[in-house]
Amino acid sequence: MKEFLLVFRADYKAMPQLSPEEMQANTQKWMNWVAGIAAQGNLADRGNRLVPEGKVISGNGVISDGPYTEIKEAILGYTMVKADTLDEAVALADGCPILFIGGTVEVREINPM
Amino acid sequence: MYQPEITPHLFRTEYSKIVAVLCKTFNLKYIETAEDIAADTFLKASETWALKGVPENPTAWLYTVAKNKARDHFKHLSVFENKISGKVDFGGQTINPEFEFSNQIIADSQLAMIFAVCNPVNAAEAQICLALQILCGFSVKEIAGAFLAKPEAIKKRLQRAREMLRNDHFQIKAPTQTEVTLRLDNVLTTLYLLFNEGYFSKTADELIRKDLCAEAMRLLLVLVENPLTNTSQTQALVALMCFQSSRIDARVNSENEAVLLDEQDQNAWDEPLIARGNYHLINAFESNDISRYHLEAAIAYWHTNPTAKNRWENILQLYDHLLLIAYSPAAAMNRIYALAKVHGNEVAIVEARDSDLPHNQHYHSLMGYLYGPAAIEQAITHYQQAMELSSSITEKNVLAKTIADLKAARF
């Protein structure tokens, strides 16, 4: 099987403030989604969430704060899955909770060495 | 390490514990500070556990993160003090930032928080809302859902209530014996009212109702844990909540209709909970202090024994006593019902007519029941009035069915 990177994107500003109970429900949804992929034997790496604050460095030496404050599709985190084709990998991304809050999942095959 | 299910309500319960410990440890004037740190802790938990799963010891994980965030927050505020003593200084009281989330500290902090929040400077409804928000971790939206109120109204009520607390020299610390003597009554009343919101609500969603009852019980048990507040009254209230909670599944049937006590499926009664109620009832009656909770718990006890001899005689006597120390129209009506069981419907009808009972839907329901099949026309009239006055769909459905049954019996 090939490996695919799933990149989660959403608008940090559009995310509603959740109560503890709602946060738990949301966390459970994510856990269930990842567990589903793992159960099928398609999980390569659980991945990580990224701290919102960071920096962007460009070639002309400019270092700016970012990127999340302006971008509507800031990267929230990533996970890696295994599948035979891109379409199969896309099917695994189905049901990802980020999709329910207006976010997106970018699916990219990892170029093998 | 990976566990499939987060314990129900874990976030909510631990959130309120963390808020309590932070408030008490850092002697916070503004609860909001503790709430922000707690919210950050759970944001981190939700993001990390989302991908990594629940850690082996979830509460330890949460407490570690909360401690670190609190330490960072307060270190940032008191850089100068830190340079000199290495400790954080708050208004003369030196607090070691190496605080712990031990069971004892959590219990003490929750107790202090309960007394701080259940302050009679605020009206009862405001106290309950505050309790749900601060002691139980409910959001404004969730509280509004429980009371079927508008979130804006709840938000304003909470803001006002919190302001009142701040103006009342708000302090979160362990209650002294004097404070307990003066304020325990009000604390128990607030928890009792919170429980009733859940138990008697005819309109809120079933899960929410059970939630409110469970939360009231959970907070009450904090009082039981501490010798100062573990009084006979507290034990009586726990007994009452146990008995009533034992029937909570039987009160509404599969068609979401309210089921009368005598018609409940006793298999749906929670026997271990009843046994627990009995245990606390015995504790409560070890002293000679008889409060309204003692009497209500005793009445509830008799209701768990439908076949006991002299059940209704006992219940009637208990209501007679209860009305003397804590009159309420609801108790008075329940007494009339018991009176009917002991002395017959005619006697009860006369007493009801002679009384000061408000002529609301409950009164008319009761009268309809008392006239019953023996005086069908009067019964129907009363039931129809009850239906008109009721604002609960569940109630109206039950009444409509009763009227239909009576009409059918006419012919």
A17-37 tens-digit pLDDT = 899 999 999 999 999 999 999
Answer for the pair B387, B399: CB distance below 8 angstroms, yes or no: yes
In chain B, what residues touch A32 (CB-CB under 8 Å)?
Answer: 4
| CA separation for the pair B70, B27 (Å, rounded) | 13
> Would the CB atoms of A46 and B46 count as touching at under 8 Å?
no
Could you tell me the two tokens for B302?
Answer: 């008799």
SS3 B59: helix
How many structural domains does chain A have? 1
Q: Is B98 exposed, middle or buried (0-12, 13-18, 19+ CB in 10 A)?
A: exposed
pLDDT level of residue B312 (50, 70, 90 thresholds): very high
> Would the CB atoms of B11 and A24 count as touching at under 8 Å?
yes
Answer for the pair A30, B51: CB distance below 8 angstroms, yes or no: yes
In chain A, what residues touch B143 (CB-CB under 8 Å)?
Answer: none
Answer for the pair B208, B146: CB distance below 8 angstroms, yes or no: yes
Q: Which of B9, B32, B37, B47 has the highest number of chain A CBs within 10 A, making it the mutation to test binding with A?
A: B47
Sheet holding A104-109, edge to edge: A43-49, A74-83, A2-10, A104-109
CB < 8 Å from B in window 66-105 of A? 77, 79, 97
In chain A, what residues touch B5 (CB-CB under 8 Å)?
Answer: 28
pLDDT level of residue B260 (50, 70, 90 thresholds): low
| Predicted pLDDT at B97 | 54
> Would the CB atoms of B6 and A77 count as touching at under 8 Å?
no
> Would the CB atoms of A31 and B10 count as touching at under 8 Å?
no
The values of phi and psi at residue A106, to 5°, are -95, 130
Look at the block and give the residue holding tokens 């701290």.
Answer: A51
In chain B, what residues touch A22 (CB-CB under 8 Å)?
Answer: 139
With vertex at residue B232, the alpha carbon angle to CA B226 and CA B235, rounded to the nearest 5 degrees, is 70
Q: Which residue of B has its CA nearest to A21?
A: B12
SS3 B276: helix
More confident residue, B204 or B96: B204
Q: Which of B39, B45, B51 sits opposite A47 (nearest CB)?
A: B51
Please give the average per-residue pLDDT across B110-131, as a whole number: 95
Answer for the pair B293, B240: CB distance below 8 angstroms, yes or no: yes
Q: How many residues does chain B have?
A: 411
Count of A-B CB contacts under 8 Å:
74
User: What domain range is A59 assigned to?
Assistant: 2-109
Residues B234-250 have pLDDT tens digits of 999 999 999 999 988 77
Cα dihedral B283→B289→B291→B296 (10° resolution): 40
**What is the overall mean pLDDT for chain B?**
88
Q: What is the CATH number of the domain that holds A62?
A: 3.30.70.1060
| CA separation for the pair B17, B11 (Å, rounded) | 10
| CA separation for the pair B44, A52 (Å, rounded) | 12
Please give the average per-residue pLDDT across B325-345, as a whole number: 93
Answer for the pair A51, A95: CB distance below 8 angstroms, yes or no: no
> Would the CB atoms of A23 and B43 count as touching at under 8 Å?
yes
> Would the CB atoms of A23 and B137 count as touching at under 8 Å?
no
Whole-model pTM: value is 0.87
Q: Is B292 exposed, middle or buried (0-12, 13-18, 19+ CB in 10 A)?
A: buried
| CA separation for the pair B135, B13 (Å, rounded) | 8
Q: Which residue of A has its CA nearest to B46?
A: A27
DSSP B252: B
User: Can you spell out the DSSP letters for B143-196?
Assistant: HHHHHT--HHHHHHHHHHHHHHHHHTT----PPPHHHHHHHHHHHHHHHHHHHH
Residues contacting residue A103 through CB under 8 Å, at least 6 positions apart = A8, A9, A10, A11, A73, A76
SS3 B120: coil
Residues contacting residue B124 through CB under 8 Å, at least 6 positions apart = B189, B190, B193
| CA separation for the pair A7, A74 (Å, rounded) | 10
> Would the CB atoms of A24 and B15 count as touching at under 8 Å?
no
Cis amide leading into A67 (omega within 30): yes
Residues B132-153 have pLDDT tens digits of 999 999 999 999 988 889 999 9
Q: Which of B4, B50, B138 sits opposite A27 (nearest CB)?
A: B50
Could you tell me the two tokens for B165?
Answer: 């607390």
| CA separation for the pair B323, B10 (Å, rounded) | 40
In chain A, what residues touch B53 (CB-CB under 8 Å)?
Answer: 31, 34-35, 46
- Single-letter residue type at B164: M
Min Cα–Cα distance to chain B from A30, Å? 5
Min Cα–Cα distance to chain B from A60, Å? 34
> Would the CB atoms of A35 and B4 count as touching at under 8 Å?
yes
| Predicted pLDDT at B34 | 94
Residues A33-89 have pLDDT tens digits of 999 999 999 999 999 999 888 888 888 888 887 775 567 788 999 999 999 999 999
A35: contact with B, CB 8 A cutoff? yes
Q: Which of A23, A28, A48 sits opposite B42 (nearest CB)?
A: A23
The values of phi and psi at residue B151, to 5°, are -55, -40
SS3 B396: helix
| CA separation for the pair B120, B20 (Å, rounded) | 20
User: Is the confidence at residue B81, as pLDDT, over 50?
Assistant: no
In chain B, what residues touch A27 (CB-CB under 8 Å)?
Answer: 6, 11, 45-46, 49-50
Answer for the pair B339, B317: CB distance below 8 angstroms, yes or no: no
What kind and span of H or E run contains B26? Answer: none
In chain B, what residues touch A24 (CB-CB under 8 Å)?
Answer: 6, 9-12, 46
Q: Which of A12, A15, A22, A27 has the highest number of chain B CBs within 10 A, making it the mutation to test binding with B?
A: A27
CB < 8 Å from B in window 53-72 of A? none
User: For residue B2, which of B58, B47, B42, B44 has the smallest C-alpha distance?
Assistant: B58
Residues B152-176 have pLDDT tens digits of 999 999 999 999 998 887 788 889 9
| Predicted pLDDT at B84 | 46
The values of phi and psi at residue B68, to 5°, are -65, -45
A49: contact with B, CB 8 A cutoff? yes
Answer for the pair B148, B203: CB distance below 8 angstroms, yes or no: yes
